[in-house]
Structure 1
Amino acid sequence: MTTTTSGPPCDDAYEIDTDPDRIDIGLVHHWLSTDAFWALGRSRDLVERSMRASLNFGVYDGGGTQVAYARVVTDRATFAWLCDVYVDPAHRGRGLGVRLATAVRDHLAPYELKRTLLATPDAHELYARVGFTPVPDPTMLMMLGPAT
C-alpha cells in the first residue's frame, strides 16, 4: 500500500507506505526509546520483534526520508490495536497524525474488523477526527500486565 496523503494542506507532499523494507528500524527505535513516553528505554530487539509481528506504516517526506510511524497489531479478521504512533517533532503540526490514523483506518476497512482499539492519554481529539470514540463501557475491558 502506497498512498499520497490528502487532507489539510501542508508544506510538502507526504507518502504513507506499508512496505516493511522502507521502514528505518534504527530511526523508529530511536524515536520510541528516547522520545515516546510509553516506550522510553525500549530495546532495539523488542522494537524489531514487535515490528515483525505487526502491520507497519511509514510516512515519508518528498525526499523519501521517514518522518512518522505507526504500528497495528491485528489478526486481519476481527480485531486490531493501533499503537506506537509517532511523528517526528520537526514535522508535527502539519496534520500528519490525522493523515496517518486515516490511512490506518482505510487500510483496515476491507477486513471489516469488529473492533480497532488504541490507547492515548492526550490525543483524543486527533483520533476522534478519524472516527475513534471512547469505549462505551470501559469496565468490560481487562488487561494482563507484568507480574507485580
Structure 2
Amino acid sequence: MIYEHGNYRISDDRGSIQIDQVESLLRSSYWAGERSLETINVSIANSVCFSLFCGGTQVGFARVVTDFASLAYIADLIIHPDHRALGIGKWMFGVVVNDPRWCSKFQFLVTDDAHGLYEKFGFSASSKLMSTKI
C-alpha cells in the first residue's frame, strides 16, 4: 500500500527499502545502535515493513511482527531528526496501527520514550509486559 501526506509517502513494499538509510537510522537509536546489518536484514525479511520517503530518500522506518491472527508487535519506528516535530511520526504511527491486516488484533510495542504519542492511539503502560535481553 502507498500513503501520501504532503511531500511524504509511506510504502509497505519491502523492495523499496533503502537499507543503507534504515541501517543509519537504526544505528542512531538507543535501542538498535549496535544491531548488525545482518540482524537488520533478517528482521526486515521477517516483518511487514513501512518506509517513509521524502522525495526519493527514505527518512523513516517501522516494522510489524505479526501472526495476522491475534497479535502485532510494532517495532523500530524511527524518523530522521531533520523530519521530526512535523507530525510525520504521528502520521506514520497512525498508518501502521490502523493497517487493516492487524488493526483489530492485540497490538503492542516496547519503548522508553514517546509515551504521550502512543497514548493518543490507545496504548498504555502495562506491568504484564515482560522482556529479556539475551
**TM-score by shorter chain over 0.5:** yes
Q: 1:121/1:111 Cα in 2 relative to 1: closer, same or farther (>3 Å)?
A: closer
Unaligned runs of 5+ in 2: none
Q: TM-score of the superposition, structure 1-length normalised?
A: 0.83
Give the counterpart of 2:116 among 125, 135, 142.
Answer: 125
1:118-147: CA deviation from partner (whole Å, max 9, x where unpaired): 111120011122222222xx1x3333431x
Q: Are residue 70 (structure 1) and residue 62 (structure 2) matched?
A: yes
Query: 1:116 corresponds to which letter in structure 2?
Result: Q
CA distance in 1, matches of 2:107, 2:20: 27
Check whether the contact 1:2–1:18 (CA below 8 A) recurs between aligned residues.
yes
- Corresponding pairs, count: 134
Give the counterpart of 1:103 among 89, 92, 95.
Answer: 95
CA distance in 1, matches of 2:81, 2:73: 24
The structure with more radius of gyration: 1
| Alignment-derived partner of residue 26 in structure 2 | 32
Q: Report the 3-state secondary structure (helix = DSSP H, G, I; strand = E; otherwise coil) of the residue aligned with 1:125.
A: helix
Check whether the contact 1:76–1:111 (CA below 8 A) recurs between aligned residues.
no
Check whether the contact 1:68–1:88 (CA below 8 A) recurs between aligned residues.
yes
Give the counterpart of 2:14 among 15, 20, 31.
Answer: 20
CA distance in 1, matches of 2:124, 2:130: 18
Higher helix share: 1
Higher strand share: 2
CA distance in 1, matches of 2:120, 2:4: 19
Check whether the contact 2:68–2:101 (CA below 8 A) recurs between aligned residues.
no
- Point out 4+ residue stretches in structure 1 off by more than 2 angstroms: 108-112, 140-145
Q: 1:125/1:37 Cα in 2 relative to 1: closer, same or farther (>3 Å)?
A: same
Q: 1:38/1:75 Cα in 2 relative to 1: closer, same or farther (>3 Å)?
A: same
Unaligned runs of 5+ in 1: 6-11
Q: TM-score of the superposition, structure 2-length normalised?
A: 0.91
| Alignment-derived partner of residue 72 in structure 2 | 80
Cα root mean square deviation, aligned: 1.6
